[in-house]
Amino acid sequence: MMFEILDAEVLGIITLTLRMTLFSTAISSLIGIPLGLWLDSARFAGKKLVVIINRTLMASPPVVVGLVVYLLLMRNGPFGFMGLLFTFEAMVIAQVLLLTPIICGIVHTASARSAEGIRLFARTMGANKTQTQLLLIKELGNDIFFAVVTGFGRAMSEVGAIMIVGGNIRHQTRTMTTTISLLRGMGEIHQAIFLGAVLMLIAFSVQMTADFFRKRERASDENF
């Protein structure tokens, strides 16, 4: 037996997982949301190709991303001097590479659907660039929120990449999913299932929270 149902170690693993997920989602959102909006408004040659590449990256296999990050961070790799391999930071880096295209893609799709009208409206009202962007973000709030929540869920359930770059080191880079994978390898199926249930429960409460915020958003839409 590795641990009791919910001892300090399991709590530590849950906390680490949430910390990693929050960090990765936050950073990916900060990059992905503006990028998605920009991708819709910008006009440049090869834009279609960029969009297609982004869609491809949305489906990039986590193990491949993990391997790429591993190669970049390994001792003899280009960023080896930073000593980041098998650390919390390495897992966040891999996650950001996985999540950013997803968030960017969802925001871009939503934006392509309805941003044109909003921009037109803003321009008629004499809004400057910043004001237009802010209005866009406000109007696309639900979609952006959905993008962020999707990223969050993806980050929390990811295992292939973080196993490779984090190394599943006990007390350091062991997350819920890598623990489940380990427990399965050890033949401790029931503990693995238990941890999986906890993971689903957290995912559920995150969705509940998201739903709560979304409803409020809709209400304020009506007032607008």
Partner 1 sequence: MKKKLATILTIIVCLALIATLAGCAAQPAPTPPPASEPAPAQTQPAPPPEEPEETGEITLATTTSTADSGLLDFILPNFTEVTGWDIRVISVGTGAALQLGRDGEADVVLVHARSEEDRFVAEGYAPRRHDVMYNDFVIVGPSDGPIAHNSDVAATFTAILEQNLPFISRGDNSGTHIRELDIWSALDLTPEDNAEYIEVGQGMGATLGMAVETQSYTLADRATWLAYPDVGDLVIVCEGSDLLLNPYGVMLVSTTLHPVGAQAFIDWMTSPATQELIGSFGVEQFGQPLFFPEA
Task: Provide the binding-site residues for partner 1, judged by CB under 8 A.
Answer: 5-6, 14, 18, 22, 74-75, 85-86, 163, 167-170, 172, 174, 178-179, 182, 184-191, 193-194, 197-198, 201-202, 204-206, 208-209
Closest CA to 209 of 23, 18, 59, 30: 18
| 87 vs 132, beta carbon nearer partner 1 | 87
Q: What is the largest CA-CA distance in the chain?
A: 67
SS3 1: coil
Q: State the nearest-atom distance from the C-beta of 27 to partner 1, in Å.
A: 13
| 113 vs 216, beta carbon nearer partner 1 | 216
Tell the residue number behind the tokens 């709590």, with chain if given.
11
Of how many residues is the chain composed? 224
Q: How many CB atoms lie within 10 A of CB 180?
A: 21
Q: State the nearest-atom distance from the C-beta of 138 to partner 1, in Å.
A: 15
Q: State the nearest-atom distance from the C-beta of 223 to partner 1, in Å.
A: 21
DSSP letters, 108-128, are HHHHHHHHHHHHHHHHHTT--
Q: State the nearest-atom distance from the C-beta of 209 to partner 1, in Å.
A: 6
CA 19/CA 13 separation, integer angstroms: 10
Q: State the nearest-atom distance from the C-beta of 44 to partner 1, in Å.
A: 32
Q: State the nearest-atom distance from the C-beta of 179 to partner 1, in Å.
A: 8
- Tokens of residue 22, six digits: 């929050």
CA 170/CA 63 separation, integer angstroms: 20
| 70 vs 119, beta carbon nearer partner 1 | 70
| 57 vs 145, beta carbon nearer partner 1 | 145
CA 21/CA 96 separation, integer angstroms: 10
Using alpha carbons only, give the angle 165, 171, 174 rounded to the nearest 5 degrees.
40
Compute the CA torsion angle 29, 32, 38, 41 (nearest 10 deg). -90
Q: State the nearest-atom distance from the C-beta of 4 to partner 1, in Å.
A: 11
| 58 vs 79, beta carbon nearer partner 1 | 79
| 55 vs 184, beta carbon nearer partner 1 | 184
| 46 vs 185, beta carbon nearer partner 1 | 185
